């Protein structure tokens, strides 16, 4: 799952470097990457969400 977040952030950085007019999309990709991290953290500390799964 960390790979997904790093990929989203890498795409956002590349968009900002090569296509600055796509800044809005880059911000949404960054926010999406953060949401993935938050979901993984909540799932890790809470046994109700993802208790028996090994991410």
The confidence score (pLDDT) of residue 24 equals 92
pLDDT at 31: 93
| Ranges in the chain, pLDDT < 50 | none
Q: Give the global pTM.
A: 0.68
Whether 1 contacts 40, CB under 8 Å? yes
Tokens of 20: 């600055």
Q: Which residue in this structure is represented by tokens 């953060």?
A: 34
Token pair in block for residue 12? 């956002």
């Amino acid at each position: 799952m960390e790979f997904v977040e790093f990929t989203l952030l890498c795409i956002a950085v590349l968009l900002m470097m090569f296509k600055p007019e796509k800044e809005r999309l880059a911000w949404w990709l960054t926010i999406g990457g953060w949401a993935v991290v938050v979901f993984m953290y909540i799932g890790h500390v809470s046994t109700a969400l993802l208790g028996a799964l090994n991410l």
